[in-house]
Amino acid sequence: MNFEKLRFKCLISIMVIFFLLFPALLFGYEIFIYRPHLQKNFWSQEHKVSLHGDLFAYFQYPCNFPSYNDLSGEEDRWFFGFQNYIFISPRATFLAQLVTHDDGQRRTKFDWHFAFKYSLSQNLRLIFGHDSNHDSEHQSYLVNKPYFLNRNYIGFGLPFNIGSFYLEPFTWFFHHSNQRGHLDLSGNKLRQEMGLRLGYWHRQGLSLSLQVLSQTEKLFSLGQAYLADLILRVKTFDWLELSLGAGLWADLQPSRWGRKQKFFRLIWGVAIPF
């Protein structure tokens, strides 16, 4: 067997084993930004790692998202971070994302998201994900025990490119997660998330990205809560993009304690692609 092919297969195997067997040590779900013209240098062809993505900074106002893992603290005011794509082959992509949060006076939390995506065909891909949130200089508690969100999952997406538009229904199933249903954390552990991504690209450098997903404790049910993010990006220079967006995280039904909560935010920011 060709040595390069063997090395590539070993790398894929290691990534799959990592996502399947190890509990998440590092809840930050992927921030969906539609980038149809992102440069792709494949590791399997060039035999070197090329990094593609962006650095970003967002100011959130108005916003009532809380700061910490137990959903306490001041309003989340700023977040900074990066997305980094490594194109392993025409079929395989690895994504690393870091987001740090700030309440305007101190850093409050940082979120990691990792994903390995493998295309089985043009309109079907496997998704292996690994998310977590960590408080900074704060300890969250749930049921009188130290708490931070962590989750591993396996799922699939059905991507379609239709002219300037992008459509992807997706779902994944948790095989390790301590995240609970409802915004007051009173539900059972989540078992599945399912949703939809919609993207639009205009040739003048404008992109619109929408992601909506539901969180459920029972497989293939409507769920206990949903998340929605809409982000508009406008390219001003080759090295700078302006961002405007909105986010919502809300209960679909009252929790066992009779609460039905909602968090919202408007975001204003910039991104530096690389």
Write out pLDDT tens, residues 198-254. Answer: 999 998 899 999 999 999 999 999 999 999 999 999 999 999 999 999 999 999 999
Give the angle 56-273-14 at the CA atoms, nearest 5°: 90
Q: In angstroms, what CA-CA distances link 108 with 54, 73, 193, 251, 263?
A: 22, 9, 26, 24, 17
- Indicate the pLDDT class of residue 4, thresholds 50, 70 and 90: low
User: Coil, helix or strand for 243?
Assistant: strand
**pLDDT value, residue 231:** 97
| pLDDT at site 89 | 95
pTM for the predicted model, two decimal places: 0.87
Q: Nearest Cα to 208, choosing from 230, 227, 235, 229?
A: 230
- Per-residue pLDDT, averaged over 133-151, amounts to 89
Q: What angle do CA 194, 199, 203 make, to 5 degrees?
A: 170
- With residues binned 3-state (H G I as helix, E B as strand, rest as coil), the percentages for the chain, rounded to 5, are 10, 55, 35
Measuring CA to CA, which residue among 217, 212, 246, 216 is closest to residue 227?
212
Asked whether the beta carbons of 97 and 72 are under 8 A apart, the reply is no
Report the pLDDT averaged over residues 99-120. 95
Residue with tokens 């690389």: 274
For 65, 81, 232, 274, the CA distances from 101, given in Å and listed in that order, are 11, 9, 21, 22
Classify domain 3-273 at the CATH topology level.
Porin (2.40.160)
